[in-house]
Chain A
Amino acid sequence: MSETAALFSAKAAGHTYGADDTAVVAVRDVTCSVMSGSRIALTGPSGSGKSTLLHMMAGLEQATRGSVSWDALGGHPAGRPDQVGVIFQGISLIPSLDAVQNVALPLVIDGMPYEEAQERARDAIGRLGLDALAAKLPDELSGGQSQRIAVARVLAAGPKLILADEPTGQLDRAAGIHVIDVLIETADQLDAALVVSTHDRTIAARFASRWTMHDGALTSMTASNEDPIDRTTE
């Protein structure tokens, strides 16, 4: 694997849901690369294909045309939480597990002994300053708290690529800002690339690169020289 290899790259990749009369093209002819350490905000109106593209990056959706690859990750990242971590728009914690167990889950699934995974999970929660939430159940957490625990889950696994699909979509503004802070902090701690899809221009402005999607196509890819971390509010 060369040092310049992309974590993810797509060539004329597209994704269509359904077939024939009911076919809906969600992503069309996208060519892009996500490099190590990137900070990318993926913007665009609802239904523009942001989530689908993110899911393709995570290996959760297949490219129905074109090609995708994860050269720097050593292949398809499915089932490898130490390669790609995903944060979803909705609450993605298992309701019957407390915060520590939720954070430890991908590690245990990956084969790590439970005790060690728990230790890593507590450490990740502590690093994000969420110790007070460690023993709480998802139903006892607010939306923002849940998303931060989801971020801790990513941190604990230590992936090289973090993908967040509208992580602030169901949160109020303050909670949203807090979640983005934690996400960027985590990516920095892990030295991982971070791709966040968002509607929010203010949030997008905090990222060095901003990709815009429209009707399934990647219509613009702009980059800023400024370090996005400098724009944090806290």
Chain B
Amino acid sequence: MISIWLRGLITRRPGALIATVAGVTIAVALLASLGSFLASAQASMTVRAASGVAVDWQVQVAADAKIAAVQSTVKSAPGVTAALPVGFAQTSGLSATTQGTTQNTGSGVVLGIPSNYAATFPGQIRFLTGARDGVLIAQQTASNLHVAPGDVVAIRLTGTKPVTVTVAGVVDLPQANSLFQTVGAPVSAQPTAPPDNVLLVPESVFAKISAAVTPVHPELVSHQLHVARSHALPSDPAVSYVSVTEAAHNLEAKLAGAGRIGDNLGASLDAARGDSSYATVLFLFLGLPGAVLAGILTVAVANSGADRRRREQALLRTRGASPRLVARLATAEALLVGVIGGAIGLGLSAIVGAVVFGSASFGASPLSAILWPVGAFIAGLAIAVLAVVLPAVRDFRSIIVSDARAQISRRRKPLWMTIYLDYLLLAVASIVLVITTQAGYSLVLAPEGVASIQVNYWAFFGPGLLWIGAGLLTWRLSNFALSRAPRALTRFVRPVTGNLAPIAAASMSRQRSLLSRAIVMFALALAFAGSTAIFNSTYQQQAEVDARLTNGADVTVTEPPGSAVPPSAASSIAGVAGVKSVEPLQHRYAYVGSDLQDLFGVRASSIAAATSLQDAYFQQGTAAQLMAKLAAQPDAILVSAETVKDFQLHSGETINLRLQNSVTKKLVAVPFRYVGVANEFPTAPKDSFFIANADYVAKMTGDASVGAFLVNTGGQSTDSVAASLKQKLGTTASVVPIGAARSSVGSSLTSVDLAGLTRVELAFALLLAAAAGGLVFALGLAERRRTFAIASVLGASRRQLRGLVLAEAAAIAVGGAIAGVLLGVVLSQMLVAVLTGVFDPPPTILTVPVGYLLVTAVIALAAIAGAALLSARESRRPAIETLRDI
């Protein structure tokens, strides 16, 4: 019986079957594609987190342990590819005499590194100028001592004579924080900042220092093994984190107290797994509504065949079919639809994954690679059951056939409308939004060093309830507009219906339930498309802002330390083809109390033209306001929030900084007036820094030299402009295009390229919007066929019949578009608010992809119009033939 039934469905009702299968396919493909994307995003996060670490492990060798023995144990540990010894010696200070003056620094650290260290750990040392081997001095130390390659530096050692060395090169240590960590100490006991004065010396020099210091102060000399591990890690950062952490624990156990491990790789993966959880949550937020919408559309498609089902059930009943048989037949139909739709959906998502994300895998870990497709497939089956089995069983049990035919009658208000569930849900959504955007709220909590991650699932309620509440409210308002405003409705439809307008309006008013459902579906599809597009654009925009913040501008030219490039050099850079404008940026170091901070001298009136200054970078004013303050007041200065707190500063107060005078080379006190707070600034470090007027700094220090030039190319041809600049400037300056920053903005989630997901989601959104628009007419097709036939035999022309359908199409298009746009904007704002942690820095305003939204609107409206006109073609069918079928 079941096979006969299924054969009948396939041969006699292929259209309805295909439509239901298509709905299931979309839902399954969307869910599984999310899994594919997540797999690819997580894998890229792991790769990025691992590649961003200069030294994977720092093994602190115990004072009484033998370095060679520890090195041998470490090297034999699984996954270890290299282990090099590094010596650490504390110095009481460095001094150098240049140009007739002697500079002394405070305490510092001398590192003894083997000759192959830089090659083994390329991320640890950035060579700025001079030789790549021999004695290397940190940029800031070189600046403090006014030394350059070739100068002599004396290393003062406690309890013994100083050792003098000749500087061979100047370097930057990008990962100084982890390099100078206290291995094994908790976060609270870690040094607040890396040492100001650092020298890197060859092993032979270090041996000399060690031999002098160890006998008198053995505690001032220590050794570490810097370890490189294989980066063939599991794709999921969380799984990688666990695996690396376990390997570190295992090695520590093997070392039996001879060494403690500073797990830099684990720490980086630790941060990435938090981002990975964000990614999961983010994609659920963005993708789940689409899958649910696809489910609703599928149920609606299946429901469009309700009349057929009821007639068939009536026939089955007359032949004595039991409810059980009806349920079995419906289940067989649901399984057929679910299995075919699920299989096609998985196949489609595998193709999408391979084409868009470069991987047909559904998950980053073996478990998720199984869970995503299985989950998506089960969701597809569930949709099929909801669409096919439930209505069949419900109809069979609860209604008689003649009742079931009554599609339009005076129905009671649904319960949700009576109890104002829509308002209630929107109110709760607002409350959740307020709570989730309070200070201290965090969507994902990944405590450092703890394997488990907490996701604040409450946050899902905000957008979730907003979706449902807004959908119901749209329903209520559509119902209201269709039933309570007949005159307005008549005026609205008159352009397409002519003198039939009152009849069309009355008919639409009676069909308000069907039309409201269509308006809601269309609105939700548009809102899905809109919110996804707006969120993704805002996300991309912020990723770009992040890259610009890191790099400074489209192209940044950084002068080597100690060089005295005047601001006028900007004109030579401006002459390069493709350069729109150039902005010189001073870079100095200034002491506030005993604290040394970076100071950036800017031309406040024009800096914004070369780089993007977001309001989120500043406090006590917008970017524009604070730049205007700086421009208006020469001694104005922006300081970090931390400095404001540490020094109890109040707006307008004077703050004295000590800056080096270019003539005397001595530190001089320069008064500044504190006018605002800068948390971030292009090229500035993440911690404390100052922003002041370049002219004022130059005047007070007698030095107008520029640290960097921010080059604006209008976002175009950054690589070719950078290449031209490199050619022009030679090797003296470092030229970095923004593209380099895009691929290295830490392990933050903004580093994940959403472009692939965006393309997939937007394609699905478009499909759903078009389907929702077109489906509307499939829903009432049987009813419309009858209406057309009757109106036709009563003399209605084709134009009049088309007008009746177009009136409905116009109501759905206009109602759905208004509700969809409003909901899309509100949802985008809520998503951005709830997912604030995803953004770095948080966006000031939403970025609206006008082009995509217009294309979506046009396609969706075309789908409605197309479906309406197809529906109107029904009028070509001989009316009598139709009436005979009714």
A-side interface residues toward B, CB under 8 Å? 55, 58, 60-61, 78-81, 86, 88, 90-98, 101, 104-106, 108-114, 137, 139-140, 153
Contact = CB atoms under 8 A, between A and B. Distances in A.
Interface residues of B, number: 31
Interface string B335-378: 00000000000000000000000000000000000000000000
Contacts of B409: 137, 139-140
Contacts of B795: 78-81, 106, 109-110
B726 interface: no
Contact of B506 (A88, A101, A112): A101
Contacts of B234: none
- Sorted from nearest, which 10 A-B pairs have the closest CB atoms? A79-B795, A96-B507, A96-B510, A139-B406, A114-B502, A106-B794, A139-B409, A95-B408, A109-B796, A109-B795
Contacts of B563: none
Given A86-B793, A110-B795, A60 B879 contact: yes
A86 B511 CA distance: 26
A110 B550 CA distance: 73
Contacts of A80: 795
B507 A88 contact: no
Contacts of A79: 795-797
A108 B505 CA distance: 13
Contacts of B783: 95-96
A94 B791 contact: yes
Contacts of B790: 92-94
Contact of B793 (A60, A98, A112): A60
Nearest to B883: A88
A93 B883 CA distance: 11
8 contacts: A60-B879, A79-B795, A79-B796, A88-B793, A94-B507, A95-B510, A105-B503, A114-B502
B510 A113 contact: no
B500 A109 contact: yes
Interface in B812-864: none
A109 B506 contact: no
Interface string B501-520: 11100111011000000000
A101 B504 CA distance: 10
Given A55-B880, A81-B794, A105-B794, A96 B506 contact: yes
A42 to B, nearest CB: 16
A139 B883 contact: no
Contact of B499 (A55, A94, A95, A111): A111
Contacts of A60: 793, 879-880
A164 B276 CA distance: 73
Residue among A60, A96, A97, A137 with the most chain B CB within 10 A?
A: A96
A136 B402 CA distance: 17
Given A97-B507, A139-B409, A105 B499 contact: no
Nearest to B407: A95
Contacts of A55: 880
B510 A105 contact: no
B503 to A, nearest CB: 6
B611 interface: no
Interface in B780-822: 783, 786-787, 790-791, 793-797, 800
A47 to B, nearest CB: 13
B753 to A, nearest CB: 51
B886 to A, nearest CB: 6
B542 to A, nearest CB: 50
Interface string B377-405: 00000000000000000000000000001
A182 B806 CA distance: 37
A223 B417 CA distance: 63
Nearest to A62: B878
B208 interface: no
B412 interface: no
B511 to A, nearest CB: 5
B410 interface: yes
Contacts of A91: 886
A191 to B, nearest CB: 22
B406 A114 contact: no
B408 A96 contact: yes
Q: Which of A61, A88, A108 gathers the greatest number of chain B CB atoms within 10 Å?
A: A108
Contact of A90 (B501, B506, B794, B883): B883
B503 A61 contact: no
A139 B791 contact: no
A97 B503 contact: yes
A119 to B, nearest CB: 13
Nearest to B508: A96
Interface in B172-212: none
Contacts of A137: 408-410, 510
Contacts of A88: 793, 883
Which of B507, B511, B800, B879 has the most chain A CB atoms closer than 10 A to its own CB? B507
A112 B795 CA distance: 13
Nearest to A153: B794
Contact of A95 (B410, B787, B794): B787
A61 B880 contact: yes
A212 to B, nearest CB: 22
